[in-house]
């Protein structure tokens, strides 16, 4: 019941936001500055029929999701090693602090010297997600129940079973929190990299040209598409993680 009320409340909040947007567009009365949500919906109804629409979505999805998954894997691995060997944590500290503090735009411009624009969003997504995953998982590793580890060691539990039945359950809230936070950051950073690098066939390039040609309809339309793809990927990935944990808990 409470969940239904929450969903109704969110739906009403979205409706209110759309009404405010419509009122603002009518008040400005300049399509080049702000188009109405009705115009954006009309454009959404036709843009998916254009040649290259789905390949553009796939290009950005493939690169940004790939960067996220690489960062997730490496972040968990590095955090596990840092929790086991303190000298590794000390060695990685300046790198993680640098990645967390340097602006994304600076990284994008620097990386354009080393990488092609096509692969830029992969690396930038990876770079932004890595410290988030690493920090969360490292905190989880440090807070792991030592008693459970000692029991596993006494009974000489194999490494795979120790990871499956001791480490992963203990790290569940930290991994879920890291993924929930990092997924949105990956898309923001990845699309920003595409806008600066302008790789062919990317959603970032579509945003860039919509801005250049003052095509506000397409600018907001592609923004909506990016948000929808990002949210859909986040929901599906989080459900997959929770499903995997459910299978693990059921043995």
pLDDT at 60: 93
pLDDT at 145: 59
pLDDT at 56: 93
Record the tokens describing residue 88, joined without a space.
Answer: 């590794």
pLDDT at 69: 95
In whole angstroms, how large is the CA radius of gyration of the chain?
Answer: 22
| Tens-digit pLDDT string for the chain (251 aa) | 666 777 788 888 888 888 888 888 888 877 777 888 888 888 888 888 888 899 999 999 999 999 999 999 999 999 989 988 889 999 999 999 888 888 888 888 888 888 788 888 999 999 999 999 999 999 888 876 565 555 556 556 655 666 665 667 778 888 899 998 999 899 999 999 999 888 988 999 999 998 888 888 889 899 999 999 999 999 999 999 888 877 776 65
Q: Is the pTM of this model over 0.75?
A: yes
| Sequence-ordered alpha helix ranges (H) in the chain | 2-28, 37-47, 53-84, 86-101, 104-114, 117-142, 146-154, 159-162, 168-197, 203-212, 216-249
Which residue matches tokens 């879920």?
A: 176
pLDDT at 152: 54
């Amino acid at each position: 019941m409470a969940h239904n009320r929450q969903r109704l409340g969110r739906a009403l909040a979205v409706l209110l936001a759309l009404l405010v947007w419509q009122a603002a567009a009518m008040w400005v009365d300049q399509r080049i500055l702000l188009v109405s949500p009705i115009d954006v919906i009309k454009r959404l109804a036709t843009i998916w029929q254009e040649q290259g629409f789905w390949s553009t979505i796939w290009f950005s999805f493939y690169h940004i999701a790939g960067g996220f998954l690489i960062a997730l894997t490496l972040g968990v691995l590095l955090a596990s090693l840092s929790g086991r060997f303190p000298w590794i944590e000390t060695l990685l500290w300046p790198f993680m602090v640098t990645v967390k503090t340097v602006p994304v735009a600076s990284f994008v411009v620097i990386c354009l010297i080393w990488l092609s624009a096509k692969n830029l969003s992969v690396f930038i997504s990876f770079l932004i997600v890595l410290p988030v995953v690493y920090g969360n998982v490292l905190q989880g590793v440090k807070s792991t129940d030592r008693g459970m580890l000692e029991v596993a060691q006494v009974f000489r539990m194999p490494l795979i079973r120790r990871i499956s039945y001791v480490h992963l359950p203990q790290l569940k809230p930290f991994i879920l929190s890291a993924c929930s936070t990092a997924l949105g950051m990956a898309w923001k950073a990845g699309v920003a990299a595409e806008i600066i690098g302008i790789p062919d066939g990317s959603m970032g390039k579509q945003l860039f040209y919509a801005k250049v040609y003052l095509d506000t309809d397409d600018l907001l339309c592609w923004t909506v598409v990016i948000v929808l793809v990002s949210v859909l990927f986040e929901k599906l990935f989080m459900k997959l993680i929770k499903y995997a944990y459910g299978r693990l808990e059921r043995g």
